[in-house]
Amino acid sequence: MQPLLSLRKLRKEFPGCLANDDIDLDVLPGEIHALLGENGAGKSTLVKMIYGVLTPDNGEMIWNGKPIGIETPSAARSLGIGMVFQHFSLFEALTVSENISLGIPKELASSGLDQRIIDVSKSYGLPLDPHREVHSLSVGERQRIEIVRCLLQNPKLLIMDEPTSVLTPQEANKLFETLKRLSSEGVAILYISHRLEEIRNLCHKATILRLGRVVSDCDPSRESARGLAEMMMGSDLTLPEKRAVNEPGPVRFRVSSLSMLPKDPFGVPLRDISFDLRDGEILGVGGLAGNGQTELMDMLSGESRSDTPDVIVMEGKPVGSLGPRERRGLGLGFVPEERLGHGAVPDMTLWENGFLSAMGRQGLMQNGFIKVGKSVDFAVSVVHRFNVKTTGVDHNASSLSGGNLQKFIVGREIEQNPRVLIVLQPTWGVDAGSAAAIHQELLDLAANGTAVLVISQDLDELFAVSDRISVMCEGCLSEATPASETTVEQIGLLMGGHQHAGENMEKAAS
């Protein structure tokens, strides 16, 4: 069969980094093709070139047997290439069909669009109401908008960048059915994910990248997840060792009856949230994005403050009305969800970004002046300990790949040995090897007495590290249950909340 898309010796260099080094790749029609690799291996660069966001320095792209150049995303779309990004580009105040009409050619956006949205979304099992406003939709539904937007343009190749990282297990299964259906109709899918199990079940072929080169091709269903991870890393994978359940220590961090209206009109109000974090304990909080996790994080970090200080008590001290700097001074560490622009300043160097959260506790300041040498040393030690791939700490944070920056941001907090650590999505976009390393660091930190709160959508992650697990849904936090006494399915159902519980039951029954 003639490949739909062939890449020959595709090359892309950034200052100080060879992102893609002579990549060869063939994608057949109807093939679900996984692109695997550690963070910084060059996956994103490669698909951005295919989608016309970046232009290759060298090499050839062949589409249906003809050499082509793809200069812009709109050129890619007119060839029949669609892409669903990890971050959605949707306007919350607009309806589904308004959002869709903004991202497609004018001819397609004409009358009858609503009906076509309904037809396409129904026939692919992605139910969508074109008149709903986006802010009222779940993340899974928002992703459907992006997928339907691509499908309306009859793509021949669909690129998906970590589509399942925002979905419940049930939603993910539904997505897989859609993808298999597309594949049977001859649509090729280029699939990026760090979840190796789903790649084994879904994909026909996998191409593994390491440090910008193709290192091997394989049929993922014949490999084990561990084998795939080791091919990506080029070395053995050490999975984190979960310790025996600790004797619960005294309460180190307590939240009691925390309620808060959101600052953002589309935010989620927090309703009567209470939990205890004990010495040496890891509490996992599951839940789909947009159920109040960000709002809770803002309250816990001090970016939003409460008028009543004692809703949050840290080691006996009410901290609810303190700001982030004061809370850090007491030994609180935290990792927000957004890497660029929230956890890190994109246009500042890594060492300055290290300084950003470590200036107080690490003594990186003297009379208000930045101690550059010490700050650089701090950043270097984070880079080494967490295996951050960078050409130096005087490069800007924006030059790092997403997963590498995530390693830096999480590492920056762990390196400071916090008394209490609160992390939102600690391994979001991080490859298996590094995720295992971060999990191990979290477990070690807890073993040394730190109380850790992990808020994550990744259930495997929660089960890998947590002592107890609870779930956030619509601003409420469920009672925590010991991780050993619950299952992925139960937590998945809780994540779906009351609204979707019925739906899930049906599916379980069918």
Partner 1 sequence: MRIEARTEISKTMIYAAPIIAVVLTMIAGLALFEIMGRNPVDALYTFFVEPVSSLDGLAELGVKATPLILIAIGLSFGFRANVWNIGAEGQLTIGALAGSTLALAYFNVDSPLLLPGMIFVSALGGMAWAAIPAFLKTRFNANEILTSLMLTYVGLLILSLLIHGPMKDPDGMNFPESRMFHDAALLPNLVEGTRLHIGFLIVIGVVATAWVILGRHIIGFQIRVIGMAPRAASFAGFSQDKIVWLSFMVAGAAAGVAGIFEVAGPLGQVVPVISPGYGFTAIIVAFVGRLHPVGIFFAGLVMALSYLGGENAQIEMNMPNAVIGVFQGMLLFFLLGCDVLIKYRLRFM
Site residues for partner 1 per CB under 8 A: 14, 53-55, 72, 301-303, 323-326, 328, 336, 338, 340-348, 352, 355-357, 359, 365, 368-370, 372
Q: Tell the smallest beta-carbon distance from residue 444 to partner 1 (Å).
A: 25
Q: Tell the smallest beta-carbon distance from residue 359 to partner 1 (Å).
A: 7
Q: Which is nearer to partner 1, 356 or 380 (CB)?
A: 356
Q: Which is nearer to partner 1, 219 or 264 (CB)?
A: 264
* 203's tokens: 């994909």
Q: Tell the smallest beta-carbon distance from residue 374 to partner 1 (Å).
A: 13
If phi over 0 gives left and psi between -120 and 50 gives alpha, with beta otherwise, what is residue 327? alpha
Q: Tell the smallest beta-carbon distance from residue 272 to partner 1 (Å).
A: 25
Q: Which is nearer to partner 1, 114 or 377 (CB)?
A: 377
Instruction: In whole angstroms, give the CA distance from residue 216 to residue 213.
Output: 9
Give the angle subtended at the CA of 336 by the CAs of 461 and 348, to the nearest 5°: 125
Q: Tell the smallest beta-carbon distance from residue 301 to partner 1 (Å).
A: 7
SS3 52: coil
Q: Tell the smallest beta-carbon distance from residue 129 to partner 1 (Å).
A: 32
* Residue 265: partners with Cβ closer than 8 Å, 6 or more residues away: none
Q: Tell the smallest beta-carbon distance from residue 356 to partner 1 (Å).
A: 5
Q: Which is nearer to partner 1, 237 or 345 (CB)?
A: 345
Residues in the chain, overall count: 510
Q: Which is nearer to partner 1, 343 or 429 (CB)?
A: 343
SS3 443: helix
Instruction: In whole angstroms, give the CA distance from residue 358 to residue 98.
Output: 44
* 135's tokens: 């802010």
If phi over 0 gives left and psi between -120 and 50 gives alpha, with beta otherwise, what is residue 211? left
DSSP 241: P
Q: Which is nearer to partner 1, 15 or 65 (CB)?
A: 15
SS (H, E, C) 252-284: EEEEEEEEECCCCCCCCCEEEEEEEEECCCEEE
Q: Tell the smallest beta-carbon distance from residue 326 to partner 1 (Å).
A: 8
* 387's tokens: 């295996």
Q: Which is nearer to partner 1, 63 or 351 (CB)?
A: 351
Q: Which residues make beta-bridge pairs with 454?
A: 284, 423
- b/e sequence 59-97, b meaning 16+ C-beta within 10 Å: bebbbeeeeeebeebeebbebbbbbbbbeeebeeeebbb
Q: Which is nearer to partner 1, 178 or 396 (CB)?
A: 396
Instruction: In whole angstroms, give the CA distance from residue 404 to residue 353.
Output: 14
Q: Which is nearer to partner 1, 217 or 326 (CB)?
A: 326
Residue of 411, 401, 465, 466 whose CA lies nearest to 436: 465
Q: Which is nearer to partner 1, 14 or 266 (CB)?
A: 14
Say if CB 494 and CB 474 are below 8 A apart.
no
Amino acid sitting at position 191: Y
Q: Tell the smallest beta-carbon distance from residue 212 to partner 1 (Å).
A: 17
CB count in 10 Å sphere of residue 505: 12
Q: Tell the smallest beta-carbon distance from residue 49 to partner 1 (Å).
A: 11
